[in-house]
Amino acid sequence: MSAVVLAALSALAPMAQENPHLQPLPATPPIGGPIWTIVVPGALLVVAIWGTWLLYRHFAKEE
């Protein structure tokens, strides 16, 4: 990428992020609490580790 294009993009990036007309949505999140912030991510992590272990066992077999 040329230096001119990089300088132009660097100058435009802060302008795109600083918009005073944008306000947060006036809505509450549909899910929350300890179930969704602790239990569900923990369960997903356990399932991902278990699936990775099963894949490792499957492909680590010697032929």
CA atoms within 13 A on the CB side of 21: 2
For the stretch 11-24, pLDDT in tens is: 776 765 666 777 77
pLDDT the model gives residue 8: 76
The whole-angstrom separation of Cα 7 and Cα 4 is: 5
Please report which residue ranges of 1-63 form alpha helices under DSSP H.
3-17, 34, 40-59
For the stretch 24-59, pLDDT in tens is: 778 888 888 999 999 999 999 999 999 999 999 999
Give 16's DSSP letter.
Answer: H
pLDDT the model gives residue 9: 73
